[in-house]
Structure 1
Amino acid sequence: MKFFKMAKKALMVSFTAVLLAGMMAGCGDEKKETSTGSGQIQDIQKIKERGVLRVGVKNAAKGFGFQDPSSGEYTGMEIDLANKLAKQLGVKTEFTAVTAATRTGLLDSGDIDCVIATFTITPERKKSWDFTTPYYTDHVGVLVQKSSNIQTLADLKDKTVGVATGSTSAKALVEAMIKAKLIPADSYDAKNFDPSTWKTGVQFKQYNDHPAISAALSAGEVAAHCVDKSILAIYHTPDRTFIKEEFAPQDYGIVTRKGSDLSKVTEDFVQACLKDGTIKELEKKYGI
């Protein structure tokens, strides 16, 4: 009986040792996978296996990304860049219309591989996503109804301005008005700025997209539509005009998930397009 108890104990010790070794080996594999960021570095492999590069683009920004309501066809500088990038990867292109409010969520979730959609590069955003060298620089502008007689930044004092949710337009406008000494600088905290609560000198109403802001401008819900001038171009109808000032240079880059192996490919791609004149040709083609 004593012999059998000792044998049973030895067997249990041996089994426990094997189990612990297996657990340690599993942890080691998990650590190795995490350290290499395999979920990110294999993006290009997934794209090639899928045969499609999924790109977030604008569908209402003429010259950059515009979808014809009748044919559904996309045209614009950023559409051409997306197609050229896909061709370089040896795959087809699949477009998803995005807004300032939806683009990062779709990118983070993996529903799209990159964003080429008048996406402004900022230091804060670069902490969360990878941006390429800028392929285009625009400025923020303000569009108003001619009948409003709003002509300058000063005329926007105490008015309500329409902006897109998730955009930097409201912040850019406030900073421009502070620089013009229309708003006291001590009322502004860049880190904690929130368009939904800002009431000093000007106030904002946020919308999901720019067609909604344009409709609100026509209805008199807002006195002005503020965003990059490239986006405002499609809403610049004969009964509307830009205010005198433009401000806040906006550098656009291709955006990928942080640490993705697609990030270097897109950076090299933009650098090549800048160097070989592709960007200049597209600017001329689309009149931007």
Structure 2
Amino acid sequence: MNGYIRTTALGATAALALSLGALAAAGTAEATTLQEVKDKGTLVVGVKADYKPYGYLDSDGKIVGIEPDLAKDVADELGVELELVPVQSSNRMQFLEQGKIDLMIATMTDTPERRKAVLIVDPNYYSSGTNVLAPKKAGFKEWTDLKGAPVCGIQGAFYNRKTEEEFGAEIVAFKGTAEALTALSQGRCVAFVYDDSFLISKLGEAEWSEFEIPLETIDDAPWGLAVAPGAEDFAAFMSDLAKEWHKSGRILELESKYGVENTPFAKKMHEEHKGS
């Protein structure tokens, strides 16, 4: 049944209700086993729909991106249909625990706390850290070059404090990335500090051709795909598949497909696994 994808669209109100309702839900669903996925003939995967290029809506309203493509790989390997469900950071683990999705591939940072809630698969499939997007002409080489300079950031982001306190920048905070990028393009700040996976994606766009990510990424944190607690057979299957993604260079291929410069993590993992 390769080639078939059905997208479940949750409106903003419905998504919020699900997220809030999850907190009051009594108990959790039993983990979906690998055989159960095969028996029902459909793999339900939670992905982002607002984080280009990892998961986003195209002009037709279809969820596309690096992670939906990985989800399609899983469905193809199992010989089942694929259903994509848009998730948010606030509900993605709850969707797994409640059985609303069988698998989650949704830009989730792997942390010890999250490993207590869901079954995160090893090896990690991706990673991101903190960096800046800045004009090439600025000539930044070190984080300390930002001292005393206005740097765009996102309100509430944890790296704002570090950029200010350790490197001496003056953070100009905005509510969202669109506002921060506009300010950067207008010269109201000399750089934009943010998640490097997002910043790297901007380099493939014409309007940012004179910009670069000049510094060494810091606070690198791996991303983990996950299944529900108790689904050990499914986790083992996904572990083997993740290893194959790294071995074959699939992650590097998808980065190139979606205009992302190959990340240090993806290149490192390919080198580590290609001889295995």
Q: Map 1:4-83 to 2 at 5 A.
A: 39-68=29-58, 70-83=59-72
SS in structure 2 at match of 1:128: coil
Q: Note if contact 1:164-1:206 (Cα within 8 Å) is conserved in structure 2.
A: yes
Structure 1 residue 126 displacement after superposition? 1.8
Question: Within the alignment, does 1:113 sit opposite 2:72 as a pair?
Answer: no
Amino acid at match of 1:123: P
Aligned pairs, how many?
221
Q: Structure 2: 5+ residue runs without aligned partners?
A: 1-27, 263-276
Do the aligned partners of residues 226 and 219 (structure 1) sit closer, same or farther apart at CA in structure 2, a change above 3 Å counting? closer
Question: Within the alignment, does 1:213 sit opposite 2:177 as a pair?
Answer: yes
Q: Structure 1: 5+ residue runs without aligned partners?
A: 1-37, 184-200
Q: Note if contact 2:174-2:180 (Cα within 8 Å) is conserved in structure 1.
A: no
Equivalent position of 1:139 in the other structure: 129
SS in structure 2 at match of 1:258: coil
Structure 1 residue 270 displacement after superposition? 0.7
Looking at structure 2, the residues matched to 160 and 99 of structure 1 have their Cα atoms a distance apart, in angstroms, of: 27
Judge which range, 125-134 or 227-236, deviates more: 227-236
Equivalent position of 2:269 in the other structure: none
Equivalent position of 1:126 in the other structure: 115
Judge which range, 38-47 or 124-133, deviates more: 38-47
- Deviation string, structure 1 residues 204-238 (Cα, Å, up to 9, x no partner): 9796xxxx432366479x97765422223455644
TM-score, normalization by structure 2: 0.60
Looking at structure 2, the residues matched to 54 and 156 of structure 1 have their Cα atoms a distance apart, in angstroms, of: 47
SS in structure 1 at match of 2:231: coil
Q: Note if contact 2:120-2:225 (Cα within 8 Å) is conserved in structure 1.
A: yes
- Deviation string, structure 1 residues 11-59 (Cα, Å, up to 9, x no partner): xxxxxxxxxxxxxxxxxxxxxxxxxxx9544433443343221212223
Question: Within the alignment, does 1:231 sit opposite 2:198 as a pair?
Answer: yes
Question: Over alpha carbons, which structure has the higher Rg?
Answer: 1
Q: Note if contact 1:160-1:202 (Cα within 8 Å) is conserved in structure 2.
A: yes
- Deviation string, structure 1 residues 125-177 (Cα, Å, up to 9, x no partner): 22222222112233322447x6xx8x675647797965488xxx515x54566
Do the aligned partners of residues 156 and 72 (structure 1) sit closer, same or farther apart at CA in structure 2, a change above 3 Å counting? farther
Structure 1 residue 84 displacement after superposition? 0.9
Looking at structure 2, the residues matched to 174 and 233 of structure 1 have their Cα atoms a distance apart, in angstroms, of: 22
Equivalent position of 2:158 in the other structure: 170
Question: Within the alignment, does 1:247 sit opposite 2:203 as a pair?
Answer: no
Q: Note if contact 1:58-1:65 (Cα within 8 Å) is conserved in structure 2.
A: yes
Q: Note if contact 1:140-1:227 (Cα within 8 Å) is conserved in structure 2.
A: yes
TM-score, normalization by structure 1: 0.58
Equivalent position of 1:281 in the other structure: 253
Looking at structure 2, the residues matched to 82 and 204 of structure 1 have their Cα atoms a distance apart, in angstroms, of: 37
Question: Within the alignment, does 1:260 sit opposite 2:231 as a pair?
Answer: yes
Do the aligned partners of residues 42 and 102 (structure 1) sit closer, same or farther apart at CA in structure 2, a change above 3 Å counting? closer
Structure 1 residue 240 displacement after superposition? 7.1
Q: Note if contact 2:200-2:213 (Cα within 8 Å) is conserved in structure 1.
A: no
Structure 1 residue 65 displacement after superposition? 2.4
Looking at structure 1, the residues matched to 119 and 172 of structure 2 have their Cα atoms a distance apart, in angstroms, of: 29
Looking at structure 1, the residues matched to 257 and 118 of structure 2 have their Cα atoms a distance apart, in angstroms, of: 30
Match of 1:272 among 224, 230, 244: 244
Structure 1 residue 265 displacement after superposition? 2.0
SS in structure 2 at match of 1:279: helix
- Deviation string, structure 1 residues 158-202 (Cα, Å, up to 9, x no partner): 97965488xxx515x545666xx448xxxxxxxxxxxxxxxxx97
